[in-house]
Structure 1
Amino acid sequence: MNSAFWDGLAAGYHWQLSLITAVGIAAVTFAGKLLVQLVPTFRAAKRLNRETYAQKMENPRYAANLRWNRKWGVFYWVVIFAGILPFCLTAEAQPVWQVLLDCFVILMVYDFFYYLVHRFLFHDAGFLGGPLMWVHAVHHRQHNPCREDSSYIHPLEVAMGLGLYVACIFVLSRFMGDFHVATIVITWVAFTEINLHNHDLWTVDRFPFKYLNTMSAMHHNHHARFTGGNFATISLLYDWMFGTLDYGQGYKGAEYAPKAKKAPGGVGAA
């Protein structure tokens, strides 16, 4: 193997920056949890979701799924922070506007591709026929999810979700240049917290919490039945663009009646 290739690979491998990023994500997440506890509305939501989560953990199958995904989560973190992100990071000074723009691009590019995966692979909502519905069906066992249900999923879906997010970072970094550590910290925390909040049991619908209520309510509409809309996760932009917004009554063009199952003889059953 050409030594120049390995030298070039090593020169672009910044494990120290990846470690700083991981520590930064943990620190920002921890600080954020402390800050939101100063707001009564967030404290009440946390209490409601914790109580619901405790009840669900009494189900052995539910608890086993979360334990399994936590174990796999550690493995995925090692792969991402040791094998991928070190090739995408820089500590060179960048203007604030560039960091914010890069955050926006990463999250919206990810959300576009996640919309496609969610709609056409995880759901029977297009010409592909939902080949991975059996994977996503695990997540949809929770018809009225709480915050922790964002992690109640098939391990393969964990890999696909995180893999898609990190793949977006890696590919975009080849076109846009390495991303600042702050950019990845912000997008990672946003990516995580938005997904968690979408599953929140949330009851407050007044300023300044109306948007949080909307995002939670819309995702709960999606969970209420396997044929619901609202396939994006970061925002509702792509559902609006492609006509799959679901306010609880379905979205235009969707078929909500379950498809007829084939009888043993091959004849469609009612």
Structure 2
Amino acid sequence: MDQIPASLLASYNWQQSLIAAVAIIAITMVLRALGTALVPTFRESARINKASYIEKMQRPTYAANQAWNRKWGMFFWVVIFAAIVPFAISTELHSIGRVLRDCVIILLVYDFFYYLVHRFLFHDSGYFKGPLMWVHAVHHRQHNPCRGDSSFIHPIEVAGGLGLYVGTILGLSFVLGAFSVPTVVITWIAFSEINQHNHDLWPTDKFPYKYLNTMSVMHHNHHAHFTGGNFATISLLYDWMFGTLDYGKGYGKVVHARPKREKVEA
């Protein structure tokens, strides 16, 4: 019994977790600054989404929800990087090949479980009504979301969403071994930025932004009706596999037309 605390302490790599947390914040800020400064499409998207967010913040209930998420989001962040990530992160630097492999596995596994939670707990799956539909209904008040609406959610969903993601990392670390700092940083940024982009009011569907447009359009199709499909968040892979792709007319129907949305205006 005396060896258990020592064993846990030996696998508690708080320095690497702290490095990962700082790197995530710094890299995200740099990428966003460079994107809006150098890429006109990103700059226009930021302008449109900011305008929509400012307008929505005039509503007291909306502002109160966002204030709650800012407050407790930071608390959850501290808990995650102080009490969970240190047990799943390695002091070693892994090869580029392993980092890429681990990133793909983490995001695929997370998205699979997110798909199941989203479809069967948060929505009427067609088989039974999800027990947490009342929780997710808060998020679905936004029928045409902007980027800021990615955080307009019920407190239970905040904790559950972050818990599912970090739980995926912790669980997989027992199977694949502890992950390197770059793996944790890359997957966290991807997880966060993809989820936020899905809510973006996106201004163009021209090359090379067609995929970004598709992801935004498909998630807006999901938000337009509480009975919509497109339950995954990282990609559309599992919606394709399980027949829940929604091109704007509900899932389970074959729609060959490419998804489009009317031009966004501020």
TM-score w.r.t. the length of structure 1 is: 0.92
What is the match of residue 7 of structure 1?
6
Deviation at 1:218? 0.1
Contact kept in structure 1, 2:44 and 2:203, CA below 8 Å: no
What is the match of residue 89 of structure 1?
89
What is the match of residue 75 of structure 2?
75
Between the aligned partners of 2:43 and 2:235, the Cα distance in structure 1 is: 24
- Hey, which bits of structure 1, 4+ residues long, moved more than 3 A? none
What does 1:115-154 correspond to in 2, within 5 Å?
Answer: 115-154=115-154
Contact kept in structure 2, 1:107 and 1:234, CA below 8 Å: yes
Contact kept in structure 2, 1:53 and 1:146, CA below 8 Å: yes
Query: What SS does the aligned partner of 1:179 have?
Result: coil
1:197 matched to 2:197? The reply is yes
What is the match of residue 35 of structure 2?
36
Number of residue pairs matched? 252
Contact kept in structure 1, 2:41 and 2:203, CA below 8 Å: no
Larger Rg: 1
What is the match of residue 206 of structure 1?
206
Between the aligned partners of 2:2 and 2:66, the Cα distance in structure 1 is: 44
1:111 matched to 2:111? The reply is yes
1:20 matched to 2:19? The reply is yes
Contact kept in structure 1, 2:99 and 2:182, CA below 8 Å: yes
Deviation at 1:183? 0.2
Query: What SS does the aligned partner of 2:67 have?
Result: helix
1:217 matched to 2:180? The reply is no
Deviation at 1:203? 2.1
Specify the code of the residue in structure 2 equivalent to 1:220: H
Between the aligned partners of 2:183 and 2:227, the Cα distance in structure 1 is: 35
The Cα offsets for residues 158-198 of structure 1, whole Å up to 9 and x where unpaired, read as 11110000000001000100000000000000000000000
Between the aligned partners of 1:127 and 1:111, the Cα distance in structure 2 is: 21
Deviates more, 1:232-241 or 1:125-134: 125-134
TM-score w.r.t. the length of structure 2 is: 0.93
Deviation at 1:71? 1.1
What is the match of residue 175 of structure 1?
175
Query: What SS does the aligned partner of 2:54 have?
Result: helix
Deviation at 1:13? 0.4
Contact kept in structure 2, 1:121 and 1:128, CA below 8 Å: no
Between the aligned partners of 1:200 and 1:58, the Cα distance in structure 2 is: 19
What is the match of residue 49 of structure 1?
49
Identity between Structure 1 and Structure 2 (%): 66
Specify the code of the residue in structure 1 equivalent to 2:139: H
Between the aligned partners of 2:82 and 2:183, the Cα distance in structure 1 is: 18
Specify the code of the residue in structure 2 equivalent to 1:91: T
Contact kept in structure 1, 2:65 and 2:153, CA below 8 Å: yes
Deviation at 1:3? 1.5
Specify the code of the residue in structure 1 equivalent to 2:88: C
Segments of 5+ residues of structure 2 without an aligned counterpart are 254-266
Deviates more, 1:74-83 or 1:40-49: 74-83
Segments of 5+ residues of structure 1 without an aligned counterpart are 254-270
Query: What SS does the aligned partner of 1:58 have?
Result: coil
Between the aligned partners of 2:155 and 2:69, the Cα distance in structure 1 is: 6
Deviation at 1:12? 0.5
What is the match of residue 243 of structure 2?
243
What does 1:251-262 correspond to in 2, within 5 Å?
Answer: 251-252=251-252
What is the match of residue 262 of structure 1?
none
Contact kept in structure 2, 1:119 and 1:126, CA below 8 Å: no
Between the aligned partners of 1:82 and 1:135, the Cα distance in structure 2 is: 27
